[in-house]
Chain A
Amino acid sequence: MVVYSFYIFDRHTECIYSKSWLPPAPTASSSSSTAAATTTTAPGGPTSDTHPPLPLSTTTAAAAAGTSGRRSAPTASASSAADNDAKLIFGTVFSLRNMVRKLGGEDDAFVSYRTANYKLHYYETASNLRLVMLTDTATLSMRNVLHQIYINLWVEYVVKNPLSPVEHKGGAGVRNELFELGLEQFIRGLM
């Protein structure tokens, strides 16, 4: 089983947490910073558009690697690409959820969908927190896993954290050490 990435969306439809376990894009060693930015930059985090222009070598290396896939897009657009991914994913699961409810009744919920390359798992709590996980296609239902993440990690480390705000605008309060560590361990334990 391979987990590719994980997203949390709040009831205001904002992506408040995202994490990717994808291997760094295969670029030249000089652009290792590029790969790091692609995998760790969160929506709402510092956007690279505001950064000073990159050294020429890095940009060209990244641009050259750009042909191997959009994951390795040049740094300037890396965070907005991740941002866009999250938006696209939310749009998809939200429409799918609404369609499923229309066809199957208000209580119906979709669990996952699969493409040739990945499987997307979806879990929504009654408080309209949406958890999304992308895995390889052979993975069985992750609904329980997402539920466990909600119960054991989200509620314990984010909701019950007095320093974390109730509304996580821009992901505020979600990226705390215990939550990150717990999630990392939990996912590693599955793989």
Chain B
Amino acid sequence: MASSKASRLGEEVWKTRMDKVNAELVVLTYGTIVAQLCKDFDSDYIEVNKQLDKMGYNIGLRLIDDYLAKSNTMRRCSNFRETAEMIARVGFKIFLNITPTVTNWTSDGKQFSLIFDENPFADFVELPDDGRAQDELWYSNILCGVLRGALEMVQMQVEAHFVSDVLRGNDTTEMRVTLIRYIDDELPPEDD
């Protein structure tokens, strides 16, 4: 699907079919979750990243069905580039009302970056000032898990991680997504 068509689809679904929730409620709820995780794991930020990814993964496993239903998707993307466009222009659009930029493709078409010009989770956020959070915590790491879970349900095994975050003082917020493999159909068990 052409990217302009994907944009139109995202826009239309966002306007007509999505239930909206107050953005500040989302910011505060998500912030509370991250803050609580930091407390629970004694500021072990590596562990917090892991937990966020796991939570996202479990969200993604279910969210994909909502995505398919809302976007009326009837067929699979024909290649990973199309998948990337659909994630950015339809997925992020309908659930978060943002459209990250897809860029930095590797030549084999298996790895790309999502650049987030705005991040609805990160409003009003400051990372803890303990000298470690700036280097270790990926505040929006839940998004990586969501992508991993959602794509796994449509038979794509991917790896996703943040490489930069404006909260850490970087210029951009960038997530790197790598396609590991397409998962084969499961076959019915043999009759005995």
Residues of chain A having any CB pair with chain B under 8 Å: 11-13, 87, 90-91, 94, 106-107, 125-129, 147, 150-151, 154-155, 159-160, 166
Contacts and interface: CB of A to CB of B under 8 A. Distances in A.
Interface residues of B, number: 23
A129 B154 CA distance: 10
A91 B186 CA distance: 12
Instruction: Classify the secondary structure of A's interface with B.
Output: loop
B66 interface: yes
Contacts of B191: 87
A157 to B, nearest CB: 12
B186 A126 contact: no
B186 A155 contact: no
B185 A155 contact: no
B99 to A, nearest CB: 21
Contact of B186 (A11, A107, A166): A11
A164 to B, nearest CB: 9
B62 A127 contact: no
Given A107-B75, A155-B68, 17 more contacts: A13-B186, A13-B188, A13-B189, A87-B191, A91-B188, A94-B187, A94-B188, A107-B78, A126-B75, A126-B154, A127-B64, A127-B65, A128-B153, A150-B69, A155-B66, A155-B69, A160-B66
Instruction: Classify the secondary structure of B's interface with A.
Output: loop
Contact of A155 (B65, B78, B153): B65
Contacts of A107: 75-76, 78
B187 A126 contact: no
A126 B66 CA distance: 12
A163 to B, nearest CB: 12
21 contacts: A11-B186, A13-B186, A13-B187, A13-B188, A94-B188, A107-B75, A107-B78, A125-B65, A125-B68, A126-B74, A126-B76, A127-B65, A128-B155, A129-B65, A147-B74, A151-B69, A154-B65, A155-B65, A159-B62, A166-B58, A166-B61
